[in-house]
Amino acid sequence: MCGIIGYIGDKPVVPVLIEGLRRLEYRGYDSAGIALVGDGLEIRRSAGKLACLEEVIAAQPVDGDYGLGHTRWATHGRATEENAHPHRDCTGRIVVVHNGIIENYLDLKHALEADGHHFQTETDTEVLAHLVEREMRDDGLECAVRRALVAVRGLFGLVLLSADDPQKLVAVRNGPPILVGLGDQEFFVASDVPAILSHTRDVVFLGDQEMAVITRAGVEFTDFDGAAVQTTTQRITWDPVMAEKAGYKHFMLKEIFEQPWAAQETVLGRTSLESGQVFLGELEIPEARLRAVERIVLLACGTSWHAALVGKFVIEQLAGIPVEVDYGSEYRYRDPIVTAATLAIVITQSGETADTLAALREARRKDAVSIAICNVVGSMATREADATVYTHAGPEIGVASTKAFTSQLVAFHVLALYLAQVRGTLAPDVARGHLEDLNHLPRLLEQALRCDEAIQDVARRFHTHRNFLYLGRGINYPIALEGALKLKEISYIHAEGYPAGEMKHGPIALIDEDMPVVALLPSGPVFEKMASNLQQAKTRGGAIIAVTNTSHEEITPLIDPSRDAIIAIPDSPPLLTPIVMVVPLQLLAYHIAVRRGCDVDQPRNLAKSVTVE
């Protein structure tokens, strides 16, 4: 949940580190620091935002030949300057930055204190510096790190340097992501791609229990035992400009408006309207194996779990395969029933979500065939799954997911149509009709975005409320969950998402004039039942915000213009309605958060990629 950057090369080091940390701000943090080695080893740290660190550096200038930097979300120890990374050993010669959690740090700390080591912070990370100090010999920093890690339990991504082993960075991965950037006579190490995009697009993602030893001469990749490992250099196709705001006030707003493009990119090259076929050449699973699948389990966390709930509807309807949906964080604790006829699909924007990866490993351990739906090439999920369906959404910087979510929904449609094609569950003309719908989706999303001005007015009217209830039915019920999540994530307003049919089983007790009800009213068979739910809410004083693609003649009788609101969206095929319906909910959450003065791109206590359990 932290940001890491390291650099060896000929450029001025401080600007490279600060720029890298700034590009990692979206991950969330409460303190920051850098360490550089030149004539000596210097550390600058600060609690608060990166601007506070820059003030410290301006007051106490520092320079060096190479160095590393870190942004921290507090897990062990308060958000203070002394607990900010980087951390040192007793000698002050060894420096470490760390993402993850050391599970046995208290036992290690007590043992080290008994040996005479003195600790300066409340963090688990400082233990690592002292362990490496204890293991230092004449065989180099990397050997000391290997010996030190034998005693460590937990998940960690580390970068270390030692003033006694100069011109060297040692990077380690056991869980949280670490990648190495390969430049022109310069090398980078980071926890995520955006940190180095302006310098290089050639990266190597470390695997679990792998180490990179980085010097000016090159990079050596080994496992924790020191044996060489084979690596693959990935060419990142994201343009550095894609990680900029491009004139938008916030990354989140930019990414909301990029959704038509992201949907198009996720479909592009994978469908043929002429033949009515889906092409997933990257899905390197034999068709016979897919035909043998008897059930599917979808595994995800957070927003991706909501995408999985929609995916269940889509796959069952198009491919005719039974689907269940599990939280990645819960799956492995119930001894799930898995066979070789089970297809496990993990959904993760980053490909590094710790709980989702653990669920994937549990399913694979029990012989399931596996697919990852992911946005990041080379991430751990894409390497561990049997195959990957990439969402081509580009970098998503805002912590609250928007375009990655809609791209996941599009990917589910593509995958479901491919499974239907392989298994022969759809007539060719029906399949072609669904492909035509998919190809029209970007236009529908563009039309949905035109409601932005109307939503700003809705936000003005409702932003002072402290509780919201979101209701949906059928395939749009998960979108009610997602809308509520977006509101609570970035505006800090309590919001609940419910199936509308469950309203009278509890939530109705909360409805009064202080709890607006956001209702998803698509045309079709659920409209009348949704309308009935709204009448019940209105009877109890609840104001209604209706998101609908129905005609005004149908919706007007339900709405009192003096206290309710209508958000009109374009009509769409039922299976695609969730993708269109979520756009106004994203915009509503965004504009309410802005009116409340919230930090939209970096909401408190949240991280973009949750790489610890």
Strands 168-174, 234-235: parallel, antiparallel or unpaired by DSSP?
unpaired
72 - beta bridge partners? 31
Rounded to whole angstroms, how far apart are CA atoms 203 and 74?
A: 28
Residue among 2, 301, 374, 451 flagged as catalytic: 2
DSSP 435-477: HHHHHHHHHHHHHHHTTHHHHHHHHHHHTT-SEEEEEE-GGGH
Q: What is the DSSP letter of 206?
A: P
The CA distances from residue 47 to 33, 52, 59, 67, in Å, are: 9, 7, 15, 20
Rounded to whole angstroms, how far apart are CA atoms 357 and 361?
A: 6
Residue among 254, 486, 488, 608 flagged as catalytic: 608
Strands 66-72, 94-102: parallel, antiparallel or unpaired by DSSP?
unpaired
374 catalytic residue (yes or no): no
DSSP 128-166: HHHHHHHH--SS-HHHHHHHHHTT--EEEEEEEEETTS-
2 catalytic residue (yes or no): yes
Rounded to whole angstroms, how far apart are CA atoms 591 and 251?
A: 13
Coil vs helix vs strand at 509: helix
DSSP 48-99: SSHHHHHHHHHHS----SEEEEEEE--SSS-SSTTTSSPEE-TTS-EEEEEE
Rounded to whole angstroms, how far apart are CA atoms 257 and 125?
A: 40
Coil vs helix vs strand at 117: coil
Residues 474/586, Cβ–Cβ less than 8 Å: no
Tokens 């955006």 sit on residue: 194
Give the count of alpha carbons within 13 A of 331, CB side only: 30
Q: Enumerate the active-site residues.
A: 2, 608
